[in-house]
């Protein structure tokens, strides 16, 4: 039996298990994400794209409107914008994201797109080498970022003052 993920839509064999408390997903999708994270934490060769992994998963599984989910979606979209659109180094994007996260109440709910990208954590999980893993994560993150295109102007407006960016 297969189950579809309420967040990203991926169809995976149904499993029983936990899910995140506010990033809505199927137990199978959450388990696949856990496997990808385990690989990134366990092997430094996979770790370079970890932040994009977290961002892509978060924006494909934004949850329902609440102060926490609003801020989560906003800051993960901000980091994707800085890294993917502005070519900002991961460390600088993390610092900007932390500054953005400190601005409680500065964001509003962005209605998630119906389609949140064709690539999912399941595609990344199938990577056989660190290079393939990195390429799949980057493709996944780009796909997820592009899915949110109707909100790109708002995300750009939320970039923290002084954030490094391409002009």
Q: Mean pLDDT over residues 105-128, rounded?
A: 96
Q: Mean pLDDT over residues 109-138, rounded?
A: 97
Return left, alpha or beta for 87; rule: phi > 0 is left, psi -120 to 50 is alpha, else beta. Answer: left
Instruction: Check: pTM over 0.85? Answer yes or no.
Output: yes
Q: What are the residues facing 19 on neighbouring strands?
A: none
Q: What are the residues facing 12 on neighbouring strands?
A: 3
Question: What is the band of 120 on the pLDDT scale with cuts at 50, 70, 90?
Answer: very high
Domain boundaries, the chain: 2-158
Three-state SS sequence of 117-145: CCCCHHHHHCCCCHHHHHHHHHHHHHHHH
Q: Mean pLDDT over residues 159-164, rounded?
A: 84
pLDDT digits (tens, 9 = 90+) for 125-138: 999 999 999 999 99
Q: Which of 80, 57, 52 is nearest to 8 (CA)?
A: 57
Structure tokens given for 48? 């370079």
Residue 164 has pLDDT above 90, yes or no: no
Rounded CA gap, 117 and 148, in Å? Answer: 9
Residue 163 has pLDDT above 90, yes or no: no
């Amino acid at each position: 039996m297969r189950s579809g993920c309420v967040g990203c839509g991926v169809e995976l064999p149904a499993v029983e298990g936990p899910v995140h408390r506010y990033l809505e997903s199927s137990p199978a999708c959450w388990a696949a994400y856990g496997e990808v994270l385990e690989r990134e934490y366990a092997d430094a060769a996979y770790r370079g794209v970890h932040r994009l992994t977290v961002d892509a998963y978060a924006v494909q599984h934004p949850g329902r409107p609440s102060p926490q989910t609003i801020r989560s979606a906003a800051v993960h979209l901000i980091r994707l914008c800085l890294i993917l659109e502005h070519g900002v180094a991961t460390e600088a994007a993390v610092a900007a994201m932390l500054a953005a996260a400190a601005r409680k109440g500065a964001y509003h709910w962005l209605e998630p797109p119906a389609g949140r990208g064709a690539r999912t954590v399941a595609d990344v999980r199938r990577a056989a080498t660190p290079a393939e893993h990195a390429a799949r994560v980057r493709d996944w993150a780009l796909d997820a970022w592009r899915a949110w295109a109707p909100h790109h102007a708002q995300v750009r407006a939320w970039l923290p003052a002084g954030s490094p960016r391409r002009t």
